[in-house]
Amino acid sequence: MQPHVIVDCATGKVTLRPVTAEEITERLERVAADEARERDEHLKQLKESIVQSSIELEQRKALVEEGIFTGKDLADCEARLEEAKVELAAWKKPAAK
Amino acid sequence: MKIDAAPSQLSDALRAIFFARDREVWLAKNCYARLDPSTTRTGLALADRYLAWVSIAETALTAPAAIVTFANIPQNFRTLALPYQARTDAVAESDNVRLQFNGSAVGYDTLESYFNSAGNVNIPGLNGVSMLAGVAEAANSRANNFSPTLLFIEGYARADRDKWAFGQSGVFGDASANADLYNTLDRGRWRSLAAVTSITLYPAVGPNFVAGSIFQLYGVL
């Protein structure tokens, strides 16, 4: 097992502390759980964003028909929805490298 | 201008009292000063009008290491700069580098932003065990490559605020496709008022940094 390198900034001395297999396993599990949680949370937010944008789009379509909103308001909302969909499709790519 | 002398021999114009012995000090406007290794002076550094990075410590791995820690970090700088070039033995084209302050495994908020030819992805993480501190090339990356990262930790010695870090990094993997080339921006926060006295870095997957990885710690005035 590879060591933990500790650089003492006060003295410049470098010491090597043995790292146990259990320590590495525990560390990797914690990081993996953390990163999985981050990605799950992000995915959840993206999906919620798409649902919200879809609802907002339908509401705006009705308001455009009533003449309260303009076509530009609709286009902005459609752009946000499309952006969220593109991000949802792409978000896994870095993790898949 | 180049000065190679003990602090007592530095010109008044510099008005510099150096923090560490046997350290190199870079000043703005291409000024450079190196301290005499025999000196034992300690103290503050430099006139206010100079922006300086003071080398605190560095390690260049000659063998693999699972974890790298800078301990007993001096408390008399405004900001820490932590440039490093890292590669891990993870069986992949990239790995993440995680960071902890003071050995603490609680209270880290992180926003990871990845940019490549496919677009950008932003991944938030709340109240985790560590913060993202950049990316590193890994075992399947092009040989002889170590990802460069520059990390800043602002107000690290203050006891009146949470601790923030900001880093920029990049990884190119085996460069077999445009999408292999990534830039990343990482912003992390540790929910703690404690002054940062140690910084620990480790691969997210690894499990090791490989030999040739270099980690440097600077105090920024």
**Inter-chain CB proximity B66 and A6 less than 8 Å:** no
pLDDT at A70: 79
CA angle (B98 as vertex; B93, B100 as ends), nearest 5 = 170
- Which token pair is B67? 């974890």
- Amino acid (one-letter) located at A67: G
Q: Using CB atoms, which residue from A3, A31, A41 is nearest to B66?
A: A3
Q: Could you tell me if B76 and B159 lie in one domain?
A: yes
Q: Is the dihedral of CA B209, B102, B156, B100 positive or negative?
A: positive
State residue B199's pLDDT score. Answer: 98
Which of A53, A4, A40, A63 is CA-nearest to residue B209? A4
Residues B5, B74: one domain?
no
Per-residue pLDDT tens over the stretch B88-103? 999 999 999 999 999 9
Please say whether the beta carbons of A42 and A88 come within 8 A.
no
pLDDT surpasses 50 at B18:
no
Q: With CB atoms and an 8 Å threshold, state whether B67 touches A38.
A: no
Q: Measuring CA to CA, which residue among B19, B22, B133 is closest to residue B86? A: B133
Clarify whether residues B25 and B129 are in a common domain.
Answer: no
Examine the domain organization and report whether B66 and B20 are in the same domain: no
Neighboring chain B residues of A86 at a CB cutoff of 8 Å = 119
Return the percentage of chain A with pLDDT > 70, whole number: 92
The domain tally of chain A equals: 1
Q: In terms of domains, do B150 and B104 share one?
A: yes
Short-list B93, B221, B91, B107, CA closest to B164: B107
* Residue A96 located in a structural domain: no
Whether residue B181 sits in one domain with residue B87: yes
The pLDDT of A10-20, averaged and rounded, is 92
- A4–B119 CB contact, under 8 Å: no
Report the C-alpha gap between B162 and B22 in whole angstroms.
Answer: 32
> Is the pLDDT confidence value at B85 over 90?
yes
Same domain, B172 and B83: yes
> CA-CA distances (angstroms) from residue B100 to A31, B122, B138?
12, 21, 21
Least confident of B31-40, B72-81, B95-104: B31-40
CA distance B16 to B14: 5
Whether residue B118 contacts residue B132, with contact meaning beta carbons closer than 8 Å, is answered with no
Give the pLDDT confidence of B185-203 residue by residue, as tens digits: 999 999 999 999 999 999 9
- Whether B66 and B124 map to the same domain: the answer is yes
Average model confidence (pLDDT) for chain B? 83
Query: Residue B40 has what pLDDT?
Result: 38
Residues of A in contact with B173 (CB under 8 A): 97
For residue A61, being part of any structural domain is answered with: yes
A38 contacts on B by Cβ (under 8 Å):
110, 112, 123-126, 128
Q: Is there a contact between B123 and A42 if contact means CB atoms under 8 Å apart?
A: yes
Q: Which chain A residues have any C-beta within 8 angstroms of a chain B C-beta? A: 1-12, 14, 16, 19, 24, 27-28, 30-32, 34-35, 37-39, 41-42, 45, 86-87, 90-91, 93-94, 97
The two three-digit tokens of residue B41, written as one number: 């002076």
Of A49-63, B68-82, B148-162, where does mean pLDDT reach its minimum?
A: A49-63
Phi, then psi, of A86 in degrees rounded to 5? -65, -40
A95 versus B134: the higher-pLDDT residue is B134
**B135 has pLDDT over 80:** yes
- What would the 3-class secondary structure string for chain B be? CEEEECHHHCCCCCCCCCCCCCCEEECCCCCEEEECCCCCCCCCCCCCCCCCEEEEEEEECCCCECEEEEECCCCCCCEEEEEEEEEECCCCCCEEEEEEECCCCCCEEEEEEEEECCEEEEEEEEEECCEEEEEEECCCCCCCCCEEEEEEEECCCCCCCCEEEEEEEEECCCCCCHHHCEEEEEEEEECCCCCCCCEEEEECCCCCECCCCEEEEEEEC
Put simply, the answer to whether A5 touches B61 (Cβ < 8 Å) is yes
Q: Give the pLDDT score at A76.
A: 79
Dihedrals phi, psi of A83, to nearest 5 degrees: -60, -45
Dist CA A43 CA A40 (whole Å): 5
Q: Tell me, yes or no, whether A52 lies in a domain.
A: yes
- Residue A22: give the domain boundaries: 4-90
Is the model's pLDDT at B45 over the cut of 50? no
Q: Cβ contact (<8 Å) for A37 and B125?
A: yes
- Within this chain, do residues B69 and B42 fall inside the same structural domain, yes or no? no
Q: Is the pLDDT of residue B158 over 90?
A: yes
User: Which has more confidence, B62 or B51?
Assistant: B62
Kindly identify which residue of chain B lies nearest to residue A16, measuring between CA atoms: B65
A-chain residue closest to B175, CA distance:
A97
User: What band does A86 get if pLDDT is binned at 50, 70 and 90?
Assistant: confident
Q: Are residues B46 and B63 in the same domain?
A: no
How much is the pLDDT for B4?
52
Which domain does B141 fall in, by range?
Answer: 54-220
Q: Is the peptide bond before B7 cis (omega within 30 degrees of 0)?
A: no
Mean pLDDT of the region B9-29: 44
Same domain (yes/no): B102, B170: yes
- Which pLDDT band holds residue B215 (cuts at 50, 70, 90)? very high
Interval B27-44 mean pLDDT: 43
Task: Report the DSSP beta bridge partners of residue B96.
Answer: B135
Q: Look at residue A97 and tell me if it is in a domain.
A: no
Name which of B121, B126, B135 to mutate to probe chain A: the one with the most chain A Cβ atoms within 10 A of its Cβ. B121
Per-residue pLDDT band at A92 (split at 50, 70, 90)? low
- Residues of chain A with Cβ-Cβ distance to B218 below 8 Å are none
- Name the band, by pLDDT with cuts 50, 70 and 90, for residue B51: low
A23 found inside a domain = yes
- Residues B110-114 have a mean pLDDT of 90
User: Which residues in chain B have Cβ-Cβ distances shorter than 8 Å to A4?
Assistant: 65-69
Find the helix or strand (DSSP H, E) in which A38 lies.
helix A21-65
A35 is a domain residue: yes
Q: What percent of chain A has pLDDT over 90?
A: 15
Q: What is the dihedral of CA B40, B43, B46, B49, to 10 degrees?
A: 180
Q: What is the tens place of the pLDDT at every residue in A30-61?
A: 888 888 887 787 788 888 888 888 888 888 88
Report the C-alpha gap between B216 and B221 in whole angstroms: 16
Check: pTM over 0.80? Answer yes or no: no
Interface mutation vs chain A, best among B68, B127, B178, most A CBs within 10 Å: B68
* More confident site: A58 or B166: B166
Nearest residue in B to A97, CA atom:
B93
ipTM of the complex model: 0.74
Tell me, yes or no, whether B60 and B15 share the same domain: no
> Given B74, B92, B124, which is nearest A9 (Cβ)?
B74
Question: Into how many domains does chain B fold?
Answer: 2
- What's the gap in Å between the CA of B2 and the closest CA on chain A? 25
